[in-house]
């Protein structure tokens, strides 16, 4: 399966979730390649940091910030169980290419009282891609969620009736994600039993159930 983490908004958790989904699958024995489609190269930096820290390689990360992603991703998919694409920024050509490559689009969003979870442009590009690829799956993922706040609940309720629908698994606002990323580590490597690690495992399992 090719999963793309997309949202033209920055800072919503595309890279964080792409790394953790890949890492969780890798520890379950899956062969994963992560494509860093962002010219900023945060996933590539993370991978390099990991090497510097002497940590074992969990999955390969390659940089492919090009509009030809949809041609290269299926080729890479032949040698892997899953491909995870850490999405491009606001460039329509890149976004189109990622949408053409993907089997599943995950749109990380943060709880917000406004209905600005994904840009209208992003949803328009998704609708456009689905004309050609009606089998393309898409889901919102609620990230940085403070479970007991009214905003989180209201966002989840609003997105429940939304198309694309919301994943049941949500990821909390947890400082471990940011802290561990600095040293190239994933939350389950620090504490397998942490809330963050359990949330990632649940999200990964739910993604697995969507597999075509
Ligand atoms: N669930 C979370 N809890 C706490 N911090 C988070 C969480 N998800 C992401 N972050 C932090 O927020 C920042 C932006 O996340 P990032 O994954 O880089 O977003 P994007 O790739 O969409 O720009 C990073 O510093 C990251 O560590
Ligand atoms: Mg990023």
Which domain, by its residues, includes 116?
A: 2-207
In angstroms, rounded to a whole number, what is the distance separating the alpha carbons of residues 154 and 113? 8
Measured in Å, residue 16 CA sits from the centre of ligand 2 at 7
Minimal-distance CA residue to ligand 1 atom 25: 178
Q: Please report, in angstroms and rounded to a whole number, the separation of the first and last CA atoms in the chain.
A: 7
- Is residue 212 one of the residues assigned to a domain? no
**CA 19 to ligand 1: nearest atom:** 17
Torsion, Cα 167 187 4 205, to 10 degrees, reads -50
Question: Does 132 reside within a domain?
Answer: yes
Tell me, yes or no, whether 187 lies in a domain: yes
The answer to whether residue 11 sits within a structural domain is yes
Instruction: Report the run of H or E that residue 87 belongs to, with start and end.
Output: none
If one counts the domains in the chain, the total is 1
Tokens at 143, concatenated: 């990230």
Q: Does residue 106 lie within any of the structural domains?
A: yes
Q: What is the number of the ligand closest to the CA of 200?
A: 1
C-alpha closest to that of 146 among 171, 128, 121 = 171
Q: How confident is the model over 34-73, as pLDDT tens digits?
A: 999 999 999 999 999 999 999 999 999 999 988 999 999 9
Ligand 1 mutation pick, 4, 13, 40, 149, max ligand atoms within 8 A of CB: 13
CATH number for the domain spanning 164: value is: 3.40.50.300
Examine the pLDDT at 161 and tell me if it is beyond 80: no
């Amino acid at each position: 399966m090719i999963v793309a983490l997309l949202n033209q908004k920055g800072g919503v958790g595309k890279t964080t979730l792409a790394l953790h989904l890949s890492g969780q699958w890798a520890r379950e024995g899956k062969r994963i390649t992560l494509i860093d489609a962002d010219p900023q190269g945060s996933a590539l930096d993370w991978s390099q940091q990991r090497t510097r820290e002497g940590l074992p390689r969990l999955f390969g990360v390659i940089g492919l910030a090009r509009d030809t992603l949809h041609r290269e991703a299926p080729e890479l998919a032949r040698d892997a169980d899953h491909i995870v694409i850490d999405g491009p920024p606001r460039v329509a050509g890149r976004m189109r290419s990622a949408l053409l490559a993907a089997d599943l689009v995950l749109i990380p969003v943060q709880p917000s009282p406004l209905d600005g979870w994904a840009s209208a442009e992003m949803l328009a590009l998704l609708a456009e891609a689905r004309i050609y690829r009606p089998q393309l799956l898409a889901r919102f993922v609620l990230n940085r969620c403070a479970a007991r706040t009214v905003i989180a609940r209201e966002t989840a309720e609003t997105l429940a009736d939304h198309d694309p629908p919301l994943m049941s698994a949500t990821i909390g606002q947890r400082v471990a994600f940011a802290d561990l990323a600095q040293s190239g580590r994933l939350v389950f490597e620090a504490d397998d039993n942490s809330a963050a690690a359990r949330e990632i495992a649940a999200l990964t399992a739910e993604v697995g159930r969507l597999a075509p």
